[in-house]
Structure formats: structure tokens, C-alpha cells
Copies of this chain bind each other. A is one copy, B any other.
Amino acid sequence: MPEYRKDPITNRWVIIASERSNRPMDKVVSTVSKKEFCPFDSGNEHLTPPEILAFRPENSKPNDENWWLRVVPNKFPAVTQDTLPKLIKNGIYFSIEGYGYHEVIIETPEHNSTIAYMSNFEVEEIIWAYLQRFNEIKKDKKIKYVQIFKNYGRNAGASLSHPHSQLIATPIIPIFIEEELKGAKTYFNIKKRCIFCSIIQQEKEEKVRIIEENDSFISFEPFAPRFPYETWIIPKEHSSNFGDLNTKLVKNFAKILKTTLLRLNILLGDIPYNYMIHTSPFDNIENHFYHWHLEIIPRLTNAAGFEWGSGFFINSVSPENAAQNLKSLEEGLL
């Protein structure tokens, strides 16, 4: 029987309708393009703008080919530092000039690698790169938010198949973050507690949507997921600021990110997905009501007219079933 479910943070409703998994053509196959002429490969450093950050041996030079991770400006940026975030008013319309950062984290020189199959060290290095750029950009007082995200596979929006993530830093707090903050503040004002901490507690009691747990993190299917197999990873201890991660947390975050993506890969194949990190904005980064986390959305289905028209999502897989499937994979496979 289908169900409407309300995300307790944003008050966004979704419809859980398992029956729809029977309908024809709900799946879209990923088509990651083959290696051809890749600007992210080792030896092709001249094809990217000069690097902003790189993890490389001490004796190597910037932009030469000895590296195991590079961060470069996006060659086709959505926003740049060539302007200032000036507000422009025109009648009822407002605009702000497109000041910001748009960077690419080249995760490895290995063209055909993917996080699910990387070593723990490699994934940790990716997290360290996120952290370093996040905390560096935080010093720019014009920036309010840094969205770190990954597009994997062409149907998830990746134009290049070489393993990479991106970040876009903006002088505006994105609406989804605003919505989460608003919901979290409202809850905190009533309950004197972080809503994410309450979710973690209830999930640990119910045990039907948790996939995996380590010392510092759990991965679970949210109660009201927009997409089949939407999966969140969240620190168990309250923490509003992604930039606060220490060495132990980086290790445990890298580990659960890798195994969660591996579970999805084993169960569903080499599917396209996006993930994104949600954290408190810079202007109130340490607080008691918000809790940073990572959201993974496999791109098994396309949002269509109903979703784009209403903000209501039809999801053909219940989170309880998805969690059960992801959890029950044999330990030997992981």
C-alpha cells in the first residue's frame, strides 16, 4: 500500500509506493564513457587550470605528473572570483553577481578507479582534500556556503568518467540548506535537542533502516527518501560543522563511505549516483541544532513532471526494503 511520508527536517512529503517497482522502464542504465583523452589523467596536467591543492611527494613540483590527488578550478565554472557579489535590483527582481568558487577534486590518477574499490587510504585522502578546501574557503568572508558533491556516471551529470568530486562555494545559503536549518531550529526550540540526534536515536531503536555502523558513523535509509536506495551517512556524536573532522573521524568516515558505496555497487551494479555533504553555513557553523551529514542518491529513476511540478517524489522502493537488501550482503563481499 502506498504511503505519504514527511521528512521531519524539511517538512517535505514523499510518496512511498512499492507497487510502482513493477512498472515498465523505471530503470535507466548508466553509460560512463570510455577513456579517450582525459584531462584528469596523469601526464595531462597541462589540460587543466593550474592546481589549487595537490597531494604529491615533497620533491615534486606543482602541476607535474607526480601526484595522487589534485584540486583544480573547474574549466567551465558556474561561478568565479572575477566579480564581486553585488546585489542588483530591477523592479521586483533581484540578482547578485556570480561570485564564488567552483573546483574539481581529481580523486586519483587512476582513470578506471572508483571509491567503492579504492583503498581506505585513498578515500581518506579525498576527505582530507574536501576538508582542506572547505576550511580554506571559509576564510573568504564573502562566502556563506560550500556545497561539496560528486556526480558519478553520465546519468548523474558527470561529463567526465575519471573519478572526481566538485565543490561550489556561494555567497548565498542554498534553499535546501535553509529548509533543513529552519526545520532543525523549529524542532530545537520545542525539544531543546538536535533533530538529527533524535533521528539517530529512533533509528537505533527501530533497527529497520540502518545499514552499517562503526565507532563514529551510521549509514541508513532516511524515513522519507526521495529516491530508491537514497542513503545517508551521519556522525553519531552531535556535530554541526563538517570542517571539524579529526583524524579518527576522517578514517571512520572514509571507511563507511567506501563500504556503503560498495554495498550499492554489489547490489545494484555500476549505477550512476550523486552524493553531497550538508553542513552548517559559515555564519553559524558551530551550533546545537544542525548536524552535518552526507546524502547519497542513486540515479535509478528520472524525476518527471510530477516531481518537478510538486516537489513531491514518487519512490518505488521503501527504505526498509532497501536497508534490508543493503545490510544482508555477505560480509565476505565487503
Complex CA distance for A174 and B312, rounded to whole angstroms: 6
Taking A157-B303, A159-B23 as contacts, is the C-beta distance between A93 and B5 under 8 angstroms? yes
Is residue A57 within 8 Å, beta carbon to beta carbon, of the partner chain?
no
In-complex Cβ contact of A176 among B176, B206, B278, B310 (8 A): B310
Nearest residue in B to A276 (C-beta to C-beta)? B309
Complex CA distance for A158 and B302, rounded to whole angstroms: 10
Nearest residue in B to A8 (C-beta to C-beta)? B92
Q: Interface size for chain A: under 10, 10 to 19, 20 to 34, or 35 or more residues? A: 35 or more
Is residue A290 within 8 Å, beta carbon to beta carbon, of the partner chain?
no
Contacts of A75 in B (CB 8 A): 23
Contact A305 B2 (CB under 8 A): no
Nearest residue in B to A226 (C-beta to C-beta)? B308
Is residue A12 within 8 Å, beta carbon to beta carbon, of the partner chain?
yes
Taking CB atoms and an 8 Å cut-off, the chain A residues in 89-140 that contact chain B are 91-98
Secondary structure class of chain A's binding surface, majority of residues: mixed
10 smallest CB-CB distances across A and B, nearest first, come from: A157-B304, A276-B309, A2-B98, A149-B305, A174-B310, A274-B305, A23-B76, A176-B311, A175-B311, A4-B96
Complex CA distance for A80 and B202, rounded to whole angstroms: 30
How many identical chains are in the complex?
Answer: 2
Cβ distance A66 to chain B, nearest Cβ, rounded Å: 28
A134-164 interface code vs B (CB 8 A; 1 in, 0 out)? 0000000000010101110011111100000
A1-41 interface code vs B (CB 8 A; 1 in, 0 out)? 11111101011110111011011111000000000000000
A165-173, A258-266, A325-333 - the one binding chain B: A165-173
Interface residues of A (CB under 8 A from B): 1-6, 8, 10-13, 15-17, 19-20, 22-26, 75-80, 82-83, 85, 91-98, 145, 147, 149-151, 154-159, 166, 168, 170-172, 174-177, 179, 195, 198-199, 202, 205-206, 223-224, 274-278, 295, 297, 302-306, 308-312, 314
Taking A166-B306, A302-B156 as contacts, is the C-beta distance between A6 and B76 under 8 angstroms? no
Complex CA distance for A302 and B302, rounded to whole angstroms: 9
Contact A175 B13 (CB under 8 A): yes
Contact A309 B95 (CB under 8 A): no
Contacts of A94 in B (CB 8 A): 5-6, 8
